[in-house]
Amino acid sequence: MNIIKWPSILLACSGLLFSPQLFADDIEYKVKAGYLYNFTKFITWPKDPSATFNLCILGNDPFGALITPIEQRTAFDKPIKLYRLETPAALVDLSKSTLCHILFVSSSLDRIPVQDAKNILIVGESENFARKGGMIGFITEDGRIKLQINWQLFKRSDLKISAKLLEVADVIEGDSRD
């Protein structure tokens, strides 16, 4: 006679209930990680002496292991190095020795810690990120991840953006910093 172990069944069922959202989050962050890598193909940075091309994640890391394979790639003939920074203070400490070429600001932070960074692509996912002083914001429309680009900040930076990237994004002309 088989004895049913209710805790095991409940645990299995709870996994079924929660896994669709986890799966959806995985897809969302795989797409965002892909965008972060592909920005290196559509944005040009000024030459710098860094031995690596540095991608920094600031705040709670929503990518987890999904973004780690990016370190197997290169950008501008440099290996990509990933830095995970929990607080803006960690960013300040890192910036004394290392340039973040791309800074992803997680939605866990309520403010953009870097203003007027000429050589840093500042990307984020919080609501109205590009309108609040970020350069590129991820937005969700009709269940799809899209880009919002703050054109004013790009014009003030030393970064050059491809027209192809501008074509697929919602370009914001204003620069409101709350």
Query: 102-126: per-residue pLDDT in tens?
Result: 999 999 887 887 766 789 999 999 9
What's the mean per-residue pLDDT of the chain?
A: 84
Q: Which one is the CATH code of 26-172: 3.30.1490, 3.40.50, 2.60.120, 3.20.20? A: 3.40.50
Where do the DSSP E strands lie in the chain?
43-44, 53-58, 74-75, 78-85, 102-105, 121-124, 136-141, 144-150, 160-161, 170-172
CA-to-CA dists, residue 112 to 7, 84, 106, 109, 129, angstroms: 45, 16, 10, 7, 8
Q: What is the rounded CA–CA span in Å between residue 112 and residue 123?
A: 10
Q: Is residue 8 very low, low, confident or very high in pLDDT (cuts 50, 70, 90)?
A: very low
Comparing CA positions, the residue from 127, 90, 132 lying closest to residue 107 is: 127
Query: 54-91: per-residue pLDDT in tens?
Result: 999 999 999 999 999 999 999 999 999 999 999 888 88
Domain segments of the chain as ranges: 26-172
More confident residue, 32 or 95: 32
Query: 42-51: per-residue pLDDT in tens?
Result: 999 999 999 9
Helix, strand, or coil (residue 150):
strand
Residues making up the chain, counted from first to last: 178
Q: What is this structure's pTM?
A: 0.83
Would you say 100 and 91 are in contact if contact means Cβ atoms under 8 Å apart? yes
Would you say 51 and 78 are in contact if contact means Cβ atoms under 8 Å apart? yes
Q: What is the rounded CA–CA span in Å between residue 91 and residue 139?
A: 24
